[in-house]
A = this chain, B = another copy of it.
Amino acid sequence: MNDEWKMCSPALSRRAVLAGLAALPAASATLGPAAAQAGPLPSWNDGPAKQAIFDFVRATIDRTSPSYVPTEERIAAFDQDGTLWVEHPLYTQFVFCLDRVPAVVAQKPALKNTEPFKTVLSGNREAIAKLSVQDFEKIGAATLTGMTVEQFSAEVRTWLERARHPRWNRPYTDLVYQPMIEVLQYLRNNAYRTYIVTGGGQDFVRVYADKVYGVPPEQVVGTALATKFGHGKDGRPELIKEPKLLFVDDHGGKPEGINLVIGRRPFAAFGNSTGDRDMLEWTAAGSGARLEMLVLHDDAAREYAYGPAAGLPDTKVGTFTQALYDQAMKSGWTVISMKNDWKRIFAFE
């Protein structure tokens, strides 16, 4: 961890601001929308999405409400890619894996002429984009395993310091959605524990989740490879990352992962794609007041536009189908329009 990351990251500056917000009395949340406008969720435009968040919090923290939720049960679950930060043109962790290929090939030169590594090394973006799921699994197994959990965290940290998103030329950790950071903080100010429930790698996200989102390691649920306990050459105990998938935290795997790691049903769930549907259904099936929200990427100017719901262009990364949109409307879930509901998208704007 160098000083730049530690001291100068905009994400960290944002956290300092949020720490200030956290010091505000939580009771401000009960003062109603008029007072709340000046306080929480400043990057949200007034509208049904912002109101749904306020209504949910009020209904669950008011002791006289029939939907009152004891503090120990206040759990909110957030998908990450496309819900808390940018996922286009490619999931950030995929970029990390691709960037690690040269280092892996340097250690195992035989891979140089073996697919899919040969294609990755070619740098041909079109060819890389056409790689199959199986190819990506091979790349993941080669780039994410065979090292201790500490070595892996260090690799991720180093990469995050150096890597830049191709569109904004900024660190990936800058590309988090400011309105969602405010929701995380607003819920925590009202005694909700905020969990990330991501299809991405649990240990990848844990490296920066505390700094960037204020979410500590034990509140990150994600796709997990197995680790193997053993002893290194110096006899010290170590956990080695294995090329063995323990569970995939996507689709049905999201409620399954929540049950495994948390053991409680969330009262609020946020997502943006079909991979989040089962988590939202599981949340909605609980009793009392529940909140289910889906981020719709409908802002090509400030971020990206993709669906294919609502006539937006189709995509393979973070697909939001029309069927999911229809289910949301039918079920009383709230669709967040990035274009209309968010005053600004990034803190650096």
- Our pick among B217, B229, B256, B262 for the contact of A252 (Cβ within 8 Å) is B229
- Our pick among B230, B251, B256 for the contact of A239 (Cβ within 8 Å) is B256
- Count of chain copies: 2
- A228 and B206 contact, CB distance less than 8 A: no
Proximity bits, A202-215, B CB within 8 Å = 1, else 0: 11001000000000
Q: Which of A28-36, A218-226, A296-304 contacts B (4 or more CB under 8 A)?
A: A218-226
- B252 and A203 contact, CB distance less than 8 A: no
**Cβ of A97 under 8 Å from chain B:** no
* With A236-B285, A237-B278, A246-B247: A226-B256 Cβ-Cβ less than 8 Å: yes
Tell me how far the C-beta of A145 lies from the nearest C-beta in chain B, rounded to whole angstroms. Answer: 14
Distance, CA A305 to CA B51, complexed state (A): 62
Of residues 149 through 180 on chain A, the ones whose CB sits less than 8 Å from some CB of chain B are: 149
* With A256-B229, A259-B227: A285-B237 Cβ-Cβ less than 8 Å: yes
**Cβ of A146 under 8 Å from chain B:** no
- B264 and A218 contact, CB distance less than 8 A: yes
Distance, CA A40 to CA B237, complexed state (A): 33
- A216 and B72 contact, CB distance less than 8 A: yes
Distance, CA A259 to CA B263, complexed state (A): 17
Interface residues of chain A, those whose CB is within 8 Å of chain B, are 72, 149, 202-203, 206, 216-218, 220, 224, 226-230, 236-237, 239, 246-247, 251-256, 259-264, 278, 281-282, 285
Could you list some 9 contacts between A and B, CB below 8 A?
A: A149-B259, A202-B260, A203-B263, A218-B262, A226-B256, A227-B256, A229-B255, A237-B282, A239-B256
